[in-house]
């Protein structure tokens, strides 16, 4: 219901500007909840190009508790990454001792154009932090970028990012269309009648057959 309503906000009510095309997939990763990846193409007149526009649509800082209490509530409970790294090396985002999503990000006084077509969002070192369990304090470096209207309305994890390079757009399309997970399962009757035991699991695999079965 939230997803359907949000698609209306985005595509019919034009919360981020007029949408001329969109695609989305719902991904189910076998842990956590299913989630949607959505790509919106905005009309030319609404393309988000300037630093000021980036800031008006996407934030990556802990909201002000007094000014935006709803956003504060959602961001502090649902939009803080991890914590991973030294704080928790066992999170799924960790690979070879590093966070695959590059958290914690660096502090950033003002939003900047990034080298790969993704803006580097403002994350000021303003002393704001959220204290989570075990006294761990997470500051603006841990905030997953969000749109304040969307988090206020939906009270859900909704990561919003702007993408301005062809390379990144190509990657995103590929990513969104990567398809579902697949597994091959075979039922076979291969019982060793002599001692009534199944054969050892490392029976020889027929690679040609596996290839044909895709």
Which residues are at the interface with Zn ion (CB under 5 A)? 82, 84, 93, 99, 103
The contacts of residue 100 (CB under 8 Å, 6+ apart) are: 93, 94
Positive or negative, the CA dihedral 82, 116, 28, 211 is negative
152 secondary structure, DSSP code:
H
Q: How far is the CB of 81 from Zn ion (least distance, A)?
A: 6
CB nearer Zn ion, residue 80 or residue 148: 80
Q: How far is the CB of 94 from Zn ion (least distance, A)?
A: 6
CB nearer Zn ion, residue 145 or residue 153: 145
Distance of alpha carbon 145 from alpha carbon 161, whole angstroms: 7
Could you tell me if 148 and 63 are in contact, meaning their C-beta atoms sit under 8 angstroms apart?
yes
CB nearer Zn ion, residue 85 or residue 114: 85
Q: How far is the CB of 143 from Zn ion (least distance, A)?
A: 13
Distance of alpha carbon 26 from alpha carbon 23, whole angstroms: 10
Q: How far is the CB of 161 from Zn ion (least distance, A)?
A: 16
CB nearer Zn ion, residue 42 or residue 144: 144
Tokens of 64: 């002000």
């Amino acid at each position: 219901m939230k997803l359907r309503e949000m698609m209306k906000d985005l595509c019919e009510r034009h919360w981020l500007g007029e949408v001329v095309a969109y695609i989305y997939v719902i991904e189910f990763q076998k842990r956590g909840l299913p989630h949607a990846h959505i790509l919106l193409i905005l009309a030319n007149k609404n393309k988000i190009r300037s630093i000021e526009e980036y800031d008006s649509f996407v934030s990556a800082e802990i909201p002000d508790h007094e000014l935006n209490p709803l956003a504060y509530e959602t961001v502090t409970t649902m939009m803080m990454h991890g914590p991973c790294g030294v704080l928790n090396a066992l999170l799924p985002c960790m690979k070879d001792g590093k966070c695959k999503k590059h958290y914690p990000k660096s502090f950033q006084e003002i939003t900047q154009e990034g080298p790969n077509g993704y803006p580097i969002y403002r994350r000021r070192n303003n002393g704001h932090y959220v204290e989570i369990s075990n006294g761990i304090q997470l500051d603006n470096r841990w905030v997953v970028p969000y749109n304040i209207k969307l988090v206020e309305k939906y009270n859900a994890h909704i990561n919003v990012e702007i993408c301005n390079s062809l390379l990144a757009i190509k990657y995103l399309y590929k990513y969104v269309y990567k398809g579902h997970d697949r597994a091959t399962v075979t039922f076979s009757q291969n019982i060793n009648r002599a001692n009534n035991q199944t054969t050892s699991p490392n029976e020889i695999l027929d690679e040609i057959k596996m290839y044909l079965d895709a």
